A and B are shown apart, each in its own frame.
Chain A
Amino acid sequence: QLQLQESGPGLVKPSETLSLTCAVSGGSISSTSYFWGWIRQPPGKGLEWIGNIYYYSGGSYYTPSLKSRVTISVDTSKNQFSLKLSSVIAADTAIYYCARLPAYSSSSFVFDVWGQGTVVTVSS
């Protein structure tokens, strides 16, 4: 059974870069069958899609409002993928979730497996 686990600093200073990792267990991140993505949720608010990556093609997709500051990458040697968000501000404070998306099935492009989430606070 696939499991995802986010990790990274819980506190980041304004203007610095937020870096998170999602470890994948019970499956291979290099599978052609899946995308891998990040979603965040500010305190008391709804879900915001950040971006996805498809290792097989090397394609990455980002929400327009964050595109200039976001990079998602894959490390196959560690079976994990990462999120980097640069020049953070207080509004980037949120729970950050990683998730899996099937690529070629009847449930394509939905987030079918989620990590438990990690809280990131942007503050000096």
Chain B
Amino acid sequence: EIVLTQSPGTLSLSPGERATLSCRASQNFGSSYLAWYQQKPGQAPRLLIYGASSRATGIPDRFSGSGSGTDFTLTISRLEPEDFAVYYCQQYGSSLWTFGQGTKVEIK
């Protein structure tokens, strides 16, 4: 079973700043199966990125994903007030799905 480790646990930034979130896998897997989600309090998660770098429908272009192998990154180029939330990475491999533990992006 692949374990995803996200860092940092919490990111304290101001609106307008750039956010860089990391997701590291315990072993190599196909980057086609790496996704990122955003979750706001009291809401279900929302798909942001799939295939490591493709934005889901309706996702603003300030969100971008990159990476391959075992290291993946979600970048928010300029934080908007509505972007402060918890972000999860997720992978699929060998008929198993796993989530990272999440990174909270909070207002500094």
Chain A residues engaging chain B, CB cutoff 8 angstroms: 37, 39, 46-49, 52, 61, 63-64, 97, 106-112, 114-117
Q: Is B63 an interface residue (CB 8 A)?
A: no
Query: Quick check: B35 and A64 within 8 Å, CB to CB?
Result: no
Docked Cα-Cα span, A114 to B32, in Å, equals: 21
Among candidates B45, B54, B98, B100, residue contacting A114 with C-beta atoms closer than 8 Å: B45
Q: Which residue of B lies closest to A61 (CB)?
A: B95
Count how many chain B residues have C-beta atoms less than 8 Å from C-beta atoms of the other chain: 25
Q: A107-B50, A114-B44, A114-B45 are known contacts. Are A46 and B96 too (CB-CB below 8 A)?
A: no
In the complex where A46-B100, A49-B97 touch, is A106 in contact with B54 (Cβ < 8 A)? Answer: yes
Q: Which residue of B lies closest to A63 (CB)?
A: B96
Report chain A residues within 8 Å CB of B102: 46-47
Task: Tell me the minimal C-beta distance from A94 to chain B in angstroms.
Answer: 13
Known contacts A46-B99, A109-B97, A111-B37; 8 further A-B pairs (Cβ under 8 A): A47-B45, A49-B98, A64-B1, A107-B50, A110-B35, A111-B47, A111-B90, A112-B56
